[in-house]
Amino acid sequence: MTPKDPLTRQNIERVIASVHADAVLATRLVSASAGEQQGGTWDTRGDSQYKAIDYGYGAYGMPVTYVEFQTAPPLPTFTSSVHVITKLYDTRSATLVYTLDTTAKSQDTDSTADTLITITGPTANRLRQEGLIH
């Protein structure tokens, strides 16, 4: 199907016939959420340190290091969560063969699409384990 073709049963059946498919896998997005958090873990908390900016000699010729106190802000952590339902249909009778309900949570990504990608591999593996796909 092209992106401009309406998603109708007739169009789907036309594509099924043209590629001789024996099953249709349909995944539906139920819900999605994304969020951001500042800091929170050892690696993402802000930091502070003294940075040497100059050196010289002080009283009695002792070496002196002049420093500046600097702080770094906490790093943002992005989270994304998606809930999808995947259904496998037999094309001969359009009957439902298998349903898989999946929720995935991902950290360090602010994209729902990136989180959906993390679902595709495990979904395919599950369908293979069940003997539904090769």
- Tally of CB atoms within 10 A around 90: 13
pLDDT in tens, the chain (134 residues): 888 999 898 999 999 999 999 999 999 989 988 777 666 666 666 778 888 899 999 888 899 998 998 887 777 777 778 899 999 999 999 899 999 999 888 766 556 677 777 888 889 999 999 998 88
Quote the pLDDT of residue 111.
Answer: 64
126 backbone dihedrals φ, ψ, rounded to 5°: -65, -45
Contact 133, 98 (CB under 8 A): no
Continuous segment of H or E residues that includes residue 120: helix 112-129
Nearest Cα neighbor of 40 from 71, 78, 69 is 78
Q: CA separation (Å) from 34 to 39, 112, 117? A: 16, 7, 15
pLDDT value of position 87: 95
pLDDT of residue 75: 72
Q: Is the dihedral of CA 110, 116, 122, 125 positive or negative?
A: negative
The span from the CA of 14 to the CA of 28, in Å, is 21
Element containing residue 15 per DSSP (H, E): helix 9-19
Q: What pLDDT, on a 0 to 100 scale, did the predictor assign at position 105?
A: 81
Task: Supply 5's token pair.
Answer: 């073709």
Domains of the chain (ranges plus CATH)? 21-38+77-129 (3.40.50.10610), 40-74 (no CATH)
